[in-house]
Structures are given as C-alpha cells and as structure tokens.
Chain A
Amino acid sequence: MSLPKSWKEWERPLLDLDDGLAKLAKLAENSTGEERSKLDARIREFEKRRDRYIEQKYQNLSPWEKVLVARAEPRPYTLDYIGELMTDFTELQGDRRFGTDNAIIGGPAKFRGQPVMVVGHQKGRTIPERNLRNFAMSKPEGYRKAVRLFEMADRFRLPVVTFIDTPAADPGPESESRGISEAIAAGMLAMFGVRTPIVSVVIGEGGSGGAIGIGVANRVLMLEHSVYSVIPPEGCAAILWRAPERGPEASQALRLTADYALELGLIDEIVPEPFGGAHRNAAEAARLVGSAIQMALEELLPLGPEAVKKHRYEKFRAMGRFGVAEPVAK
C-alpha cells in the first residue's frame, strides 16, 4: 500500500463528503415542502456518515498521518491564533542588522487583558503567501528579530507566548552566509535569559532547530495532532536510507507525536483538538489553546523573575536519557 504524500490526498474522501454536503445544503436552501424535508433528511444522514468517518479516521492517527494533518493547509496558523486570542497586536519588524523576515512574526499584544510578547512562525496558504512566508522557513533575520523581542519582553516584563509551526529553518546558502546556526543558538540563549514566563505552543510542525530556536519555554504545549521532530521525516529517510520517499517509515521511527514527547518529559501538556482536527474548527481550536496558555501563565506568573528563569533552566537541564555503564575495557 502506498501511503498518501499530502494531507489533501489523504483527506480526499472527507473533502468529498464535505463537498457533497455543501451541494445538498444549497439545494435544500432553494427548495420547499416535501422536497425540502427529503433533502434535510439526506443531509442529516450525510452528516452522520461524515462524523462516523472522522471519528474512525482521527481516533488513532499514525505518526505519518499526524505529519500530514500538521501540514494541512487549512490548519490555523500563528496569525489565526493571534486574531482569535489577542487584542492590540502590533507587529514589529526587522532584526536591525540586515533585514526583515516574514517567516517569523512577532510583537506585543494583549492576551485576555494581559500584555504579552508574541512570536511565531507564519505559514502561507496561497502561493504568493507561501513565497512571502518562505514556507515558514525562517532566515537568520527571523531569529535575530525574535531575540530582539525576547529581550524587549524581559525589559518590559511581558510574559512571552511563542507559536511553533515550521518545517525547518531556511537551509539555503543565503541563510548559511548570514549565520543561520548562530541565529538559532542566539534565539535559545536569549530565551534562557528572559525573566518572565515563556509559554510555547507547537501548533503544527515543530521542525528541528527551526523550532527550538523559539521553543525554550517554561511550558511547552503541543496540539494533539502536531508533530515535533529532530529532523523532517523525509530528511531522516534521505540520510538513513538515501530514500526521502520513505518519510512515512521515518516518521514512525522518529516518534515525533505529542504523546511520545509528553512521555519523555520533553513537553508539558497536550492540547486537545476539536472534532476532526484544528482545521475543522479554528475558533474552537483557538479557544482550547487559549485556555491552556492562560492556565500556564496563571501558574507561572506568581514565580519571581529569577525563579522563572531558574525554572526554565532546570527544566531543560534535566532533558536526556542515558545509562551508566562501566568504562569499556579494551
């Protein structure tokens, strides 16, 4: 069995059902009397079929299916969450060194009345949007802008919320020439220095260095169907087996799902997604994410500036699994 390569291909039966339902609804709208009640009955039957389908399909997603869902184009992106959850968002741009970057956005905002600094990867849905956002693959300027915003948050005592959604940091020569490695490390270093609470939410793809560069948080949340990985599965397959098409297999091996990250203590909480995934109900997804952020902030805000910094340090210091063995005799 060949596995689907894209979310659209995988979700085709459901998208067809949705399509059929939309057509029926339109028909029903323009009809009356017995015709109308017949159509309504068919709609109800279709809806039941759809719900059963979703229930079955989403009950137990494989790691690769989660990769597909995490990458789904209609999935809510950072700006969608900001739109639903924040007010007074003012986007700030530029790294004050070289340029601006549209793959990472950020600025101050109010989250349920609380001033915060928000930073996140931004994907695009249309082709021009995707090009503008560079497929959410940030260049060094993006991380350096993030550093500026983290430092500003520290200065003005704003808690930080980051939304993680990137396939990877930009791997091209342009980024290399301007020090993408240093920029990512600088992002992490800056976050360790922030004396206010930081909450990160993996909303789609947590793509390796590109993700952790804005992911050093006191509390790391992952949406139920999001993924977080040391390397994109296709990249892993390319390195291990010289076969990028074996991404589905690699996604299994990498164990990049939220439940496993939680089990290893690398994230703190899984945020449930609405029925059929965040993309089927963005407002509800945002509400669930909002509650989780609020709870995290309520727990973290009472900690003092040094305590919250220490908490973050100790949390990451403890990460890793290793054994203790006798030195090898040779």
Chain B
Amino acid sequence: MRLGGKSSGSALSDAFTQCINCKKTLFKRELEANLLVCPHCSHHHRLTARQRITWTFDPDSFEERDQELQSLDTLSFPEYGDKLGSAIQKNGRNDGILSGFAALDGRKVSIAVADFSFMGGSMGSVAGEKVTRTLERGCESRVPAIVFCASGGARMQEGLLSLMQMAKTNAALTRLAKKGLPYISVLTDPTMGGVSAGFAFVGDVVIAEPKALIGFAGARVSKQAQVVKAPDDFQTAEYHLKHGMIDRIVPRRDLRDALIALTSTLGGQLESA
C-alpha cells in the first residue's frame, strides 16, 4: 500500500508503513482501520476512489456507471498517450473518477468520486463527462448528487477541451438546482485549478477534509505570476473555512454521518414530492 504523495522509499516490511506527515511508523492494518488517518497526528492520507466509496457509502451499494468512457489523446500531446496507458494499467480502470449510484443509510444518491492516483485526478473530457452524467442522473432519478473532488486541476494534455469541462459540468449543475435537488461537494486533498474553479465551490453545501490543499492557482503557476507572499495556512481547508468559502471541515470518520444528515434533510422532501 502506498500513501498519498511521494513514496518514502524506505524498506519497510509489508505490515508497516509510515505517516507521510509525522513520519511515525504505523501498522498498516491499524491505519486502514482508522480510514488512513494517522492515529498520532490526524493526517488524512489520500484515498483511492474505491476506498472512499467503501468507507463512506452503505456496504455493496455502489452501482458503477460510465466505466466504459476512456480518454483520447486528441491533441497528440507529448507523452500523453504513454502516461494515460500506464495510468490505466496501474489503476485497472479507464479513468480516475468512479461514478454511479450509491446509498447513504438506505437513501439513494448519485455520486462521482475522484482519484488523485490516476494522473493527479486531472479533469479532461472523461472526468467532465462523468461528473456531468452524475449530475444528470441525479436529475433523472430525483436524488441528491455528491461529488468528491481530488484533482491537481484541468488536464493540460487535453487543452481547451479540458477547460470546457468546467462549463459543461456547471451547465448540468443549473439543471440540478432548478429541479430542487441538492448538490454536495466534498473537497479532499488536493482540489486545485480547473476543478476548484469548476464544480468544487458551488455546491449547495461544500465540505472539506482537514488540512486538504484547496485553491485556484497551484504553487508552480502562481510562482510564474510572481504573487505576493501568501500566509502560512494559504489554500488549506482551514483557510477557506475562515474566509467563508466552505461550510464545514469534517474529519473523515464523521463524513458518512455528515452526508447522511445532509442528504436526509436537504433531500428529505424528495420522496414525498
């Protein structure tokens, strides 16, 4: 098992791993039982989309959709084909995002869950299409939509096509809102760039995981623009909460309950309608 970010490179035995934040040695099993939250420093390690679904939604409730969608190297962008091929191989899936239906305490929801380990969770045509369809399925089935963001931003290798996914997903959001269906956006580490400025911040409710990196311009891009020095907590979940840009920071172990509370209240009138 690899934790998010760079691998430590140390030769730990299969039973152990290391917290990428406090560097303490951890029992893998213990860490997994704790949803990959470090028992010492509470660092929330990145999850795969599968782990996220397993640990958030009702057991075996996930019905995957759109798994046939696959990215194309439309621009013949240098090295994109290779990168894509190895991401598909490594993850055993056509794309990072998992989308479909799931249940929260028996209540059906339409979900899309991003996966940073698939090309940095970057949003190209497929990610945009999956999120759009997730919102559309919410409309058709009259159920709330929940999107878990985890992305370095738009997928540069698909050029302007990627930028337009921001507009496409927002188009679908207008229809969901018009039908009176809640959209809950969960920002996980990291949520940046085109995803941040796309569908991340415009949920009826926006939740973030503790310490998640969330922001518009990544460090390497803003360095380019020579911006003034940023505060220490710049682009963290805590920073956005302080500035009124998100509703809540919810620790991972409480996330399922928080989503149940929200979908059963905001979406509570749906069945009777």
Contacts and interface: CB of A to CB of B under 8 A. Distances in A.
A171 B225 contact: yes
Given A171-B221, A176-B235, A185 B198 contact: yes
Contacts of A211: 163
Interface string B105-130: 00000000000000000000110110
B69 A319 contact: no
B160 interface: yes
Contacts of A240: 156
B165 A319 contact: yes
A181 B196 contact: yes
A182 B218 CA distance: 16
Nearest to A184: B197
A180 interface: yes
A316 B218 CA distance: 26
Interface stretch (B15-23, B55-63, B86-94, B254-262): B86-94
B163 A238 contact: no
A16 B227 CA distance: 35
B267 interface: no
B227 A209 contact: no
A330 B92 contact: yes
A253 B168 contact: no
Contact of B166 (A176, A177, A209): A209
Contacts of B198: 185
B131 to A, nearest CB: 11
B168 A320 contact: yes
A64 interface: no
A229 B201 contact: no
B170 A238 contact: no
A274 interface: no
B156 A254 contact: yes
Contacts of A231: 153-154, 156, 221
A324 B201 contact: no
Nearest to A210: B197
Interface residues of B, number: 70
Contacts of B170: 185, 188-189, 192, 216
B223 to A, nearest CB: 7
A302 interface: no
Contacts of B224: 232, 234-235, 238, 244
A172 B229 CA distance: 9
Interface in A205-255: 208-209, 211-213, 215-216, 228-232, 234-236, 238-240, 242, 244, 253-255
Q: Which of A172, A188, A215 has the most CB of B within 10 A?
A: A188
- The interface size bin for chain A is 35 or more
Contacts of A168: 217, 225
B12 interface: no
Interface string B47-59: 0000000000000
Interface in B190-239: 193-194, 196-202, 215-218, 220-225, 227-231, 234-235, 239
A230 B215 contact: no
B140 interface: no
A264 B74 contact: yes
Contacts of B227: 171-173
Contacts of A260: 159-160
Contacts of A209: 163, 166, 193-194, 197, 216
Interface stretch (B24-32, B34-42, B171-179): B171-179
B160 A176 contact: no
Given A230-B163, A232-B224, 19 more contacts: A173-B231, A178-B243, A181-B215, A189-B202, A192-B170, A192-B171, A229-B160, A230-B156, A253-B78, A256-B160, A264-B160, A264-B161, A266-B160, A316-B168, A319-B168, A320-B161, A323-B71, A324-B68, A328-B92
Ordered nearest first, which 9 A-B pairs have the shortest CB separation? A171-B217, A330-B92, A320-B125, A182-B201, A325-B70, A172-B227, A319-B164, A181-B196, A209-B197
22 contacts: A171-B221, A172-B222, A172-B225, A179-B244, A181-B196, A185-B166, A186-B202, A188-B170, A192-B174, A209-B193, A212-B166, A228-B163, A230-B154, A230-B194, A231-B154, A231-B221, A255-B159, A264-B74, A317-B171, A319-B165, A321-B74, A327-B94
Interface of B: 67-72, 74-75, 77-78, 88, 92-94, 125-126, 128-129, 132, 153-154, 156, 158-168, 170-175, 193-194, 196-202, 215-218, 220-225, 227-231, 234-235, 239-240, 243-245
Interface of A: 137, 168-169, 171-182, 184-186, 188-189, 192-193, 208-209, 211-213, 215-216, 228-232, 234-236, 238-240, 242, 244, 253-256, 260-261, 264, 266, 312-313, 316-317, 319-328, 330
